[in-house]
Structure 1
Amino acid sequence: MSSGGEGSALYKSKDGGDTWELLSDKEGFPKGILGIIGVTVSPLNSHRVWALVESEKGGLFRSDNGGTTWKLMTDDRSLRQRAWYYSRIYADTEDEDKIHVLNVRYHQSIDGGKTFKKYATPHGDHHDLWIAPEDANRIIIGDDGGAQVSYDGGSNWSVYTNQPTAQFYRVTTDNHFPYRIYGGQQDNSAIRILHRSSGRYITEDDWESTAGGESAHIAVESNNEVVYGSSYLGFLMRIDHRSEEVRNINVWPWTPVGHGVEDMKYRFQWNFPVFISPHDDNKLYVASNHLHVSNNGGESWEVISPDLTRNDSAKLVSSGGPITQDNTGVEYYCTIFAAAESPYEKDLIWSGSDDGLIYVTKNGGTDWEDVTPKDMPEWMMINSIDIDPFNKGGAYFAGTKYKSGDDHPYLYKTTNYGKSWTQITSGIPDDNFTRVVRADPNKKGLLYAGTERGMYISFNDGNTWVPFQLNLPMVPVTDLVIKDNNLIAATQGRSFWIIDDLTVLHQLTDEIANSEFYLYTPKTSYLMDGGHAAISLTKGENHPNGVMLYTYFKEKPDSSQKVSLTIRDADGNTIRLFSKDAKEKKDKWTVKDSTRLFVWDMRYPDPLKIKGMYFFWVMQNGPTAIPGEYEAILKVDDDSISTKFEIIIDPRVQATQEDLQAQFDLLIETRDKLTVVHETINDIRSVRKQIKEVNLKMDEEEFETIVKTGKSIDSVMTVIENEFYQTKNKSEQDMLNYPIKLNNKLGHLSALANMGYNRPTDQMYALKDEVFNEIDAYLKQWNTLVKNEISEFNQMVKDANIDAVSLPKKKK
């Protein structure tokens, strides 16, 4: 990287760019070599121009005559440090003496640039600003944390934690349940985050800081709590999340900040690899220009390779100049940029450097072989290496040359330990450089590639690629990892994204594609808390809670076709049937797309509900299915296809299968009993309505016995109904005034028994028996009433020959 030199100057045009006038040679402008120049013109006075100039005698300069002469306003280095990275200046839209300068901090001047005041913002490293033309108090600032808004000229700002704008360099996972995703985010901490939660969203409650810094590669021990993370300048740390103990374990504990790479004992890149052997949890690797290994958690280190880079002295110099030096580690060259040990062959390790060399060792570092592709352009940055899961000696790598102005994609594969290589980029545009390639361990030949502009997929081991963007924002994909049949993408600017189920791709065949319709076998589903809610702009989208059923239709079924999806238990009993003609709203299912995801929430049908009832804390859902084998059947008219699937329990749950069966049995019993109660209430209300309609047709004196019998029946029904449900409840909190009745007691018992995954307590069974006995007593009374009094009432009405239609009696 260089700062300044020939061609760096300031010009202006008065004719739309047809001709240009040089301004940087005018009176007062700094002489000598110039670098980057930030410039702004006051919208209130076009003769007033400011220039933030990188130069040995640089600073903030102002012209009040359109650039004819200049005056130094300040040489404050806080406005112009790391000039190439900042040098942003903006004229205010309502005050010609006010300007805004962006750097690490945000600065304002109200005296034309003579003095500046620093304003606190939610984040540092500022790069862009917008000031409303009609209201200069309304500002949007862009920084390494995202974007924030101010309505009072910069004194107060909105937050940046409400936007998924993280820039992740790499991604890895652990074996925790639910597994966690790890990554270092640009100018923010390294974090780990649950890939699914027990709530409705992924929120900040599911995140925590972890080892490393913004540029971290991260490695996690098999205990899921000891984490190693890197950062720039060779920084390396170990954190034990169980005790929150932190330890620095730099390979060489000297910081070269401000020094050129030539002063480093070992050359560590900004984003240097860190990984644990898949064969030995105690073996930790890190890469500089050498590969280092520790067998004691970083207590000591051993170099197990020669220099695996070109070690070109022309590249091993301080970055920057001739004006400004800038050495943060990003600019260090001739380093190992990617490395991996094969999980399938012990001691087989690959390395790739940022100056275009591929090495391999088959004996844990004792001997190394340069296997760089002969026809690969020189000075390629090897950005990722992945091991072929199906071929011994197979590997893939992604390279980039965009830093040399070459945006071509470069993906390669070998099947013979690097003796020969094949370039595999057909289908990826020539101007879309590649950052990462990963092989799916569960489907031979299935590859995923992350590029500067989105995602690609190959079903034939890289022979051809097609876009795989779906709903992923069109941003750089910096890294990919496959975990539990999920695909996780690290992006620059849109945080982490996940495809929750790759098993559909694993099953995909030409036969399926040519079939009229198909039901894919769902992946194994967990019985656990949490679930999917409506998309939020400020929260992460959670994993669906249920069985993910994918259907495929060659053509969308027309309205005349009968399409249904049935769920059955292991004994063939129907649990749910979903179709467009279903009576219950929850059971309605319509095919809208050729490939459609349907998530069965694992629930059995709900108890019967009565509109307008008010309860205190009841369960009105059907119970969830217990772990076991189930069957799904997709039917189109008279044709059908079925598949088996499995539900398993959250591995953190300690309940046995017998415990879960007992819980399910209790919830089914209470659901069914509640349905009977509500059916009875509906029957009572129907009978009451009919008796009332009959009585209205009769003269009370003429048919005194019938009328009295009807009223007597109604009084008994009222008692039963009022014991089943608190009929005085007319609003959400009326039950605090009027005691709850049997259906609420039953529903509340279900709610309590449904908490967690446990065998019901003895007292739950006791209360169930008590409530059931009370309900049964009133049901017996109701059945007697139906059999006797209501039957007699019907006969009396028949004998009286009451007209079906009659006019109301007129008053005399």
Structure 2
Amino acid sequence: DAAADVHLDHHALWINPDNSDHMILGSDGGVSISWDRSDNWYQFRNLPLGQFYEIGVDMRDPYHVCGGLQDNGSWCAPSDTRSNQGIRTRDWYNVGSGDGFFTVMHPSNTSLMFAESQGGNLIRVNLETMERTRMRPIGRPDADDEMPELRWNWDTPVVLSSHDESTLYIGSNLLFRSSDLGQSFTAISGDLTWSVDRDTLSIMGVPGGSAQMSRNDGQSSYGNLTAIAESPLNEAVIYTGADDGRVHVTQDSGETWTDITDRLEGLPRYAYVTRIVASHGQDGEVFAAFDNHRNDDFNSYLYHSENFGQDWRRIGSGLPASSLNALAQHPDNAELLFVGNEVGVYVSADAGVTWVQMGSGLPTVPVDDIKIHPRENDLIIGTHGRGVWIIDDISPLEHLSTNVMVANAHIFPIRRATSFNPYTPQGWTPGIFAAPNPPSGARIRYHLSSDVEELELRVTDATGKLVRKLDAQVASGVHEVIWDLRLQLGSGEESAGGGLGPRVLPGAYIVELVTGADIVQSEVSVRMDPRVEIGRRELMARHQVMIDSYRIGSAVGLAERALEEATNQLVAAGELVAGRDNEGLTSEIQQVREKLAALNEELDDSSGGGRVWRGIETSGAMPTADALYQIEESWAKVPSLTEGVNAIIGDVESVLRQVYAPIAMPDLPNELPIPSKGR
């Protein structure tokens, strides 16, 4: 075996035509390279590759994304590590083996999930102990004491009920239901497939019973369920679809089933059912997607029904000729749909009537699954080749409308923001891929119907007090600004000395977008890191200490800037006087410069309390005694030093008036406000 230590299932091999010892091998495990004709191999670990079939998300905070991969089992990773290292390979953890497929997370018990490998081999995983319970149903004897013939798909569908957190569905050629999280299963249907002898069918024009490179396309069984959908409006309504194209619905929890396959006009017979979505928009509404590429037909087959599948209408204007792999409906906007095909993701804002391709930097890649996180409103995309992609907060898509488009300006709803301290370990990992974490702070999106000359984007507290002004684009279209939750002193001179300050307290804030005479507003909620335990009184006291530190630091910054400006003016004046043979004035300039330097040194020695807020902010603990002492010391000294700065500026002015004519007199630094804790 020339690649004994490389992941099997090889797909591509390149041999350097100029050096046959140099080889590159592509497999289900990624890309590996050899420089000694396969004696040793090195796997590239800086390539974001992954062949996901199915994905799932949980409700942890931050939430985790799980998924099943081709011959690599099932894995999970956090959507945000809250670390400066990003999301690395080491952040992923294995929850299942074999070829991975559906990963289904419990909505309230975040230590419990389901994963499966090929052929419906379902396991329940305890994420605290990593124990795995195998639970693929085997059925029960019928009236003739015969065990049912169960056929399981390579990618067997698994669904956890949205009405009952203990109810689980899994499909072979029969549909099974468990009311106790898989401890026991009951068949609630007969055979929901055509049960066709597949040797009588053709693949790409070749009869199934004839010689093929991979008999029956390599599938071990045929005539099994590939899609299950429970209505979010009525738990008794369930749809199923099969790999042989058969579609059923029950409206009484499986007591009776109706075959609705023949109602799908224009659908080729035996087209593979990839997805069924029972809509939350209205009772009886359902969408279904099909794949007929096995019959050399790459058209997109997408159907819509409003009466439980009794009548269907084919939809999909704008979709290319590409098989449909994934279909998802937004949990809050029933008109907003997404499909995944062999080239990417398409979106519809009118219940599937028209479609456009989503860009967002997604490469051209097969998309096999799509999820929308119900809390964070993120769009999560599972690709078969390029791993998992996340589009953070799709509120602009959710709320896009004609009214929004024609309004002069519009702010989309802003997702709750979390104030936290990132984990900042020392880490040097060259050659290892790391996905970036989403930016921390509040993600503000707004739309302008046309270009504007002036625009102001600002954040205020609930009383209208200005907290921060943000830079923003003035061109038409949708724009995004990340507010890092930091405040800044008011717009007066005091703001120039300190830059950005501490993060704001938890609470509600108002975002205002001002364009000319128009003002639009939206609210953003800021919360404390839920991992940090601190009382509200302590939190406010801690914040006030940081504000005191920030304000005195701002005063020091203003004073030092004034001294620097005055020093530069004296240097320029000294250069002019040097050619006048006026030793008295030269000496006076030097004496004032020495006073400026001495005062600057005193300011620097007294400035420690103006910097400690940064250290206080790095944890949720109360300030230390030393930090409080430094702040008090700065407040005791800096106000009088600021008065000294104002006084010495007068000395500078006296010297400069001896050097410059009135018309050429440079602008002196403005008089500094004297800092006061009571302000």
Q: Give the shorter-chain TM-score range.
A: 0.7 to 0.9
| Aligned-residue offset at 1:419 | 2.2
Tell me, yes or no, if the aligned pair for 2:603 and 2:641 is still in contact at 8 Å.
no
| Aligned-residue offset at 1:172 | 1.4
| Aligned-residue offset at 1:710 | 7.3
- The residue aligned with 1:90 is none
Does residue 596 in structure 1 map to residue 596 in structure 2?
A: no
Residues in 2 aligned to 1:239 and 1:471: alpha-carbon distance in whole angstroms: 34
- The residue aligned with 1:274 is 158
Give the secondary-structure state (helix, strand or coil) at the position aligned to 1:664. Answer: helix
**Aligned letter for 1:678?**
G
Residues in 1 aligned to 2:422 and 2:246: alpha-carbon distance in whole angstroms: 47
Q: Compared with structure 1, are the counterparts of its residues 379 and 783 closer, same or farther at alpha carbon in structure 2 (3 Å cutoff)?
A: same
Q: Compared with structure 1, are the counterparts of its residues 742 and 143 closer, same or farther at alpha carbon in structure 2 (3 Å cutoff)?
A: farther
Does residue 377 in structure 1 map to residue 268 in structure 2?
A: yes
- The residue aligned with 2:438 is 543
Residues in 1 aligned to 2:99 and 2:418: alpha-carbon distance in whole angstroms: 34
Partner residue of 1:672 out of 537, 551, 566: 551
- The residue aligned with 2:513 is 634
- The residue aligned with 2:128 is 242
Partner residue of 2:607 out of 743, 750, 760: 743
- The residue aligned with 1:754 is 617
Partner residue of 1:151 out of 35, 42, 51: 35
How do 1:512-591 residues align onto structure 2 when only pairs under 5 Å count? 512-529=404-421, 538-557=433-452, 561-578=453-470, 587=471, 589-591=472-474
Partner residue of 2:332 out of 442, 453, 457: 442
Larger displacement relative to structure 2 (671-680 or 630-639)? 630-639
Give the secondary-structure state (helix, strand or coil) at the position aligned to 2:340. Answer: strand
Q: Compared with structure 1, are the counterparts of its residues 791 and 322 closer, same or farther at alpha carbon in structure 2 (3 Å cutoff)?
A: closer
Tell me, yes or no, if the aligned pair for 1:316 and 1:333 is still in contact at 8 Å.
no
Partner residue of 1:682 out of 550, 554, 561: 561
Residues in 2 aligned to 1:448 and 1:325: alpha-carbon distance in whole angstroms: 33
Tell me, yes or no, if the aligned pair for 1:212 and 1:236 is still in contact at 8 Å.
no
Residues in 2 aligned to 1:289 and 1:394: alpha-carbon distance in whole angstroms: 24
How do 1:64-143 residues align onto structure 2 when only pairs under 5 Å count? 107=1, 118-143=2-27
Give the secondary-structure state (helix, strand or coil) at the position aligned to 1:441. Answer: coil
Tell me, yes or no, if the aligned pair for 1:607 and 1:674 is still in contact at 8 Å.
no
| Aligned-residue offset at 1:198 | 0.2
| Aligned-residue offset at 1:794 | 6.6
Residues in 2 aligned to 1:792 and 1:480: alpha-carbon distance in whole angstroms: 70
| Aligned-residue offset at 1:680 | 2.3
Partner residue of 1:767 out of 627, 632, 636: 627
Residues in 1 aligned to 2:359 and 2:582: alpha-carbon distance in whole angstroms: 81
RMSD: 3.6
Structure 1 residues 7-28: Cα deviation after superposition (integer angstroms, max 9, x where no partner):
xxxxxxxxxxxxxxxxxxxxxx
- The residue aligned with 1:498 is 390
- The residue aligned with 2:665 is none
| Aligned-residue offset at 1:135 | 2.2
- Length-normalised TM-score, structure 2: 0.83
Structure 1 residues 405-435: Cα deviation after superposition (integer angstroms, max 9, x where no partner):
2212111222222222222122223x22222
Give the secondary-structure state (helix, strand or coil) at the position aligned to 1:217. Answer: strand
Give the secondary-structure state (helix, strand or coil) at the position aligned to 1:406. Answer: coil
- The residue aligned with 2:677 is none
- The residue aligned with 2:287 is 396
Tell me, yes or no, if the aligned pair for 1:359 and 1:368 is still in contact at 8 Å.
yes
- The residue aligned with 2:229 is 340
Unaligned runs of 5+ in 1: 1-106, 108-117, 254-262, 579-586, 609-618, 726-740, 806-812
Residues in 1 aligned to 2:275 and 2:367: alpha-carbon distance in whole angstroms: 12
- The residue aligned with 1:736 is none
| Aligned-residue offset at 1:772 | 2.6
- The residue aligned with 1:215 is 100
- The residue aligned with 2:672 is none
Does residue 426 in structure 1 map to residue 286 in structure 2?
A: no
- Length-normalised TM-score, structure 1: 0.70
Structure 1 residues 270-300: Cα deviation after superposition (integer angstroms, max 9, x where no partner):
1001222222222222211111223444333
Unaligned runs of 5+ in 2: 140-146, 202-206, 424-430, 492-497, 662-679
Q: Compared with structure 1, are the counterparts of its residues 518 and 277 closer, same or farther at alpha carbon in structure 2 (3 Å cutoff)?
A: closer
**Aligned letter for 1:384?**
R
**Aligned letter for 1:502?**
I
Q: Compared with structure 1, are the counterparts of its residues 170 and 316 closer, same or farther at alpha carbon in structure 2 (3 Å cutoff)?
A: farther
Give the secondary-structure state (helix, strand or coil) at the position aligned to 1:169. Answer: strand
| Aligned-residue offset at 1:186 | 0.9
Give the secondary-structure state (helix, strand or coil) at the position aligned to 1:780. Answer: helix
Q: Compared with structure 1, are the counterparts of its residues 793 and 509 closer, same or farther at alpha carbon in structure 2 (3 Å cutoff)?
A: closer
Partner residue of 2:399 out of 481, 487, 507: 507
Residues in 1 aligned to 2:115 and 2:244: alpha-carbon distance in whole angstroms: 24
Residues in 2 aligned to 1:771 and 1:240: alpha-carbon distance in whole angstroms: 50
Residues in 2 aligned to 1:148 and 1:678: alpha-carbon distance in whole angstroms: 55
Larger radius of gyration: 1
Residues in 2 aligned to 1:551 and 1:323: alpha-carbon distance in whole angstroms: 56
Tell me, yes or no, if the aligned pair for 1:268 and 1:329 is still in contact at 8 Å.
no
Structure 1 residues 727-773: Cα deviation after superposition (integer angstroms, max 9, x where no partner):
xxxxxxxxxxxxxx5434642x32321124x2524x35x63244432
**Aligned letter for 1:743?**
S
Partner residue of 1:167 out of 32, 51, 58: 51
Q: Compared with structure 1, are the counterparts of its residues 698 and 273 closer, same or farther at alpha carbon in structure 2 (3 Å cutoff)?
A: closer
**Aligned letter for 1:508?**
L
Tell me, yes or no, if the aligned pair for 2:199 and 2:209 is still in contact at 8 Å.
no
Aligned length: 629
| Aligned-residue offset at 1:524 | 2.9
Does residue 453 in structure 1 map to residue 348 in structure 2?
A: no
Partner residue of 1:231 out of 117, 120, 140: 117
Give the secondary-structure state (helix, strand or coil) at the position aligned to 1:666. Answer: helix
| Aligned-residue offset at 1:685 | 3.9
Partner residue of 1:304 out of 172, 183, 188: 188
| Aligned-residue offset at 1:652 | 3.7
How do 1:311-322 residues align onto structure 2 when only pairs under 5 Å count? 311-314=195-198, 322=211
Give the secondary-structure state (helix, strand or coil) at the position aligned to 1:678. Answer: helix
Partner residue of 2:525 out of 631, 646, 651: 646
Q: Compared with structure 1, are the counterparts of its residues 264 and 474 closer, same or farther at alpha carbon in structure 2 (3 Å cutoff)?
A: farther
Q: Compared with structure 1, are the counterparts of its residues 537 and 641 closer, same or farther at alpha carbon in structure 2 (3 Å cutoff)?
A: farther
Residues in 1 aligned to 2:652 and 2:269: alpha-carbon distance in whole angstroms: 100
Give the secondary-structure state (helix, strand or coil) at the position aligned to 1:407. Answer: coil
Give the secondary-structure state (helix, strand or coil) at the position aligned to 2:299. Answer: strand
Query: Which protein has greater RCO, CA pairs closer than 8 Å, 6+ apart?
Result: 2
Residues in 2 aligned to 1:537 and 1:507: alpha-carbon distance in whole angstroms: 38
Q: Compared with structure 1, are the counterparts of its residues 166 and 716 closer, same or farther at alpha carbon in structure 2 (3 Å cutoff)?
A: same
Tell me, yes or no, if the aligned pair for 1:232 and 1:329 is still in contact at 8 Å.
no
Give the secondary-structure state (helix, strand or coil) at the position aligned to 1:171. Answer: strand
Tell me, yes or no, if the aligned pair for 2:606 and 2:633 is still in contact at 8 Å.
no
Residues in 1 aligned to 2:309 and 2:531: alpha-carbon distance in whole angstroms: 43
Partner residue of 2:89 out of 204, 209, 234: 204
| Aligned-residue offset at 1:352 | 0.9
Residues in 1 aligned to 2:18 and 2:182: alpha-carbon distance in whole angstroms: 58
**Aligned letter for 1:162?**
N
| Aligned-residue offset at 1:179 | 1.2
Q: Compared with structure 1, are the counterparts of its residues 688 and 304 closer, same or farther at alpha carbon in structure 2 (3 Å cutoff)?
A: same
Residues in 2 aligned to 1:279 and 1:182: alpha-carbon distance in whole angstroms: 22
| Aligned-residue offset at 1:267 | 0.8
Structure 1 residues 570-613: Cα deviation after superposition (integer angstroms, max 9, x where no partner):
222222324xxxxxxxx5x44466322222222223899xxxxx
**Aligned letter for 2:483?**
W
Structure 1 residues 15-66: Cα deviation after superposition (integer angstroms, max 9, x where no partner):
xxxxxxxxxxxxxxxxxxxxxxxxxxxxxxxxxxxxxxxxxxxxxxxxxxxx
Residues in 1 aligned to 2:261 and 2:196: alpha-carbon distance in whole angstroms: 16
Residues in 2 aligned to 1:702 and 1:215: alpha-carbon distance in whole angstroms: 88
**Aligned letter for 2:341?**
T
| Aligned-residue offset at 1:563 | 2.9
Tell me, yes or no, if the aligned pair for 2:290 and 2:302 is still in contact at 8 Å.
yes
